[in-house]
Every structure is written in structure tokens, then in C-alpha cells.
Amino acid sequence: MSEAEADLLKILSGETPGPFVCDVDPIGADSDKEHVIAKKTAGWIVCGVLLNDQGQVLMMQEAKRSCRGTWYLPAGRVEPNETFQEGVCREVEEETGLTFEPSTLLMVDVNGGHWARLTFTGTVTGGQLKTPAEADGESLQARWCNVQDVKTENDMPIRAKDIFPIIDLAVQHQSTPESQKPPCVLPVLQPHKFVSLRLVLLKECSEGNVPELLVRTTPSPHLPTTRMLLKDWSIVLPLLRLLRTAMVLTGEALSGKLPIQPVGVLGIEHVGKPHGLADGICLTLLYTLAIGEDTPPETTHEYSWCPVTIEELRARLVDTCVNNKCIKFKVH
């Protein structure tokens, strides 16, 4: 078993592979400017999408002046000294009156290096639905709603339709047999100061083939890593910086068209405590070589393609790629 395979097994088991070492670091001397401070230099949003046994979705009515009276999923910014799990539990309770236990992440949205939204689902554990008599600055009321009523805005104007795909994803997750669901993934409590990325890039990841993993070979074999600048308008930029170091890119790849395609998020690390020192995040992203890349780009001397030798890991990766069994990843 290689060190890179061991790290990947830890990530898939909900553990951290250890201290983050950055291979391609664009931050340099500007580290103070790129230091993540929650609600100041970056905004981390948490969202809860909860369904009851009747398939109804938990909705809240907005109290904010700009969108007062419209309906939305319970969501909001993570506060200083708060983990993502603590943040989503607080938002759900404040806006709906219900307590819940997060079971897994369903989706991660990223908009540049300064904004991300993490959507959780889980199980209601207590509380009482907020009534109009209990309206406050957080929300006017909460209600279990039929999904069709939400999507057709039947007597309930929706604040933004970006929640429709999230609700669809939750419905799909609820209806999928337990044996066929993706593994449950929650953020790992690991401190980071910056927005960091760990890349799991596979080729030949299909039934009947032995997947190969892109590995940084120096100083010891590990998964390739980089960081994202807060000013980066897209996650394409840090990935392109990393790939230009790892591969000999030609043609369209030189102009920003990556020769890889996303599968999803395998893991996320964040702790948020103490505030100002651990507000950053680390995303472990799963990509495969783009369809049509029959001859993969040649690697540079510090990187190589390594066959996945562990049978259990190989089967898990193929199943994840073929059946898209990981956290959905959306780039704005």
C-alpha cells in the first residue's frame, strides 16, 4: 500500500490524512491577505434540507426586510467559533423551532475563493414548529410543505429557486435504499487557515479496469495539493495552477479548459475554533480524466500515475465514479 492510498483510505473513512502540506502555493508573501476570517474575508453558508416521513420538506418564511414573506430552506452564515455542524443545527432551530441531528452532507456549492455553501440533511430530534405568533428577526414561521407546492410556488412565494435542485437531491436521497446510498460524510474537525484543495485524480476508473491515481512523488508519495486565493473567481484557477505543475499541458488546457471532469467532494475539513486562526477549509475533490483523453497528459518529474493496488479501495473508487456516490459539487 502506498502512502497516497493510505491517505485516501483515511479520507474515505472520515478521517484526516494528517497535517496539510501545500505542493503549489500561490499565496507566498501575501499570507495575511489570504488568511480566512469567518464573516469577514470569507462567508461560509450552511443549509439544512429535511424531509419528514410523508416526504414533505421543512421550509421557513423569511423575516428579513429584503425578502420578507418569501419562503426558503433554513440557512445562514456560520458564526465565529462555530463548526459547520453546530452552525447548521443553530440555523435550523432558530428559523424553524426544530432540533435535528445532521447525518451527511448532500452538496457543496463554491463561488470563488471567498464563498461556499454546505447543505446537510439529517433527522429531526425535537422542538416545535415555529408559529406566526413566535415570529422574530430570524423567521416569521416554519412549515412542512409538499414538494410540489414548493416547486410550483403554490400560495408560497419562494425567495430563490436555487433550492429546487437541493430539494430534489434530498428527495432522491430519501428514496434510495440504504444499501445503495453514498456513504454518509460529515466535515472532519481539522484546523486550516486558508482555502486548501486536495486533488484525487483518477484515470481508467471504470468497470474492468485498474484505476490509476495521480500522485505527487516528492518528498514522499501523497495526493496533490494546492490553495485557492480569496480573489480567485473560480475553482478552475487553483486546479489549473496545480495541473500545470503536475502535467505537460498542451492545446486548450493551456487556455484554461481543464482535461479533467468533476465527480464530487470526498471530504471537507474545518473546525472554526479559535476564531481567526482556524476558519479555513480543505476540500478533497474527486476528478477523473475527461472523456476523450485517451492519451493522458505526460506527468512532470515530481508526479506520476500509480495503480490502485488495494482491491477494496479500487472497488470503492470505481463504484463512486460510475454511480456518482459522493457529495455533489457545484461551481458557480
One digit per residue, the tens of pLDDT, for the chain of length 332 reads: 789 999 999 999 999 998 899 999 988 756 778 889 999 999 999 999 999 999 999 999 999 999 999 999 999 999 999 999 999 999 999 999 999 999 999 999 999 889 999 999 999 999 999 999 999 999 999 999 999 999 999 889 999 999 999 999 999 999 999 989 999 999 999 999 999 999 999 998 888 888 999 999 999 999 999 999 998 888 989 999 999 999 987 766 656 677 889 999 999 999 999 999 999 999 999 999 876 655 678 899 999 999 999 999 999 999 999 998 999 999 87
With 0.85 as the threshold, say if the pTM is over it: yes
Query: Is the distance from CB of 293 to CB of 261 less than 8 angstroms?
Result: no
- What one-character-per-residue DSSP string does 180-238 give? GSPPP---B----SSEEEEEEEEES-STTS--EEEEE-SSS-B--EEEE-TT-SSTHHH
Asked if 272 and 83 touch (Cβ cutoff 8 Å), the reply is yes
Distance, in Å, from the CA atom of 236 to the CA atom of 331, rounded to the nearest integer, reads: 9
**In what helix (H) or strand (E) does residue 328 lie, and over which residues does it extend?**
strand 328-331
At position 137, the amino acid (one-letter code) is G
Cell numbers standing for residue 68: 420578507
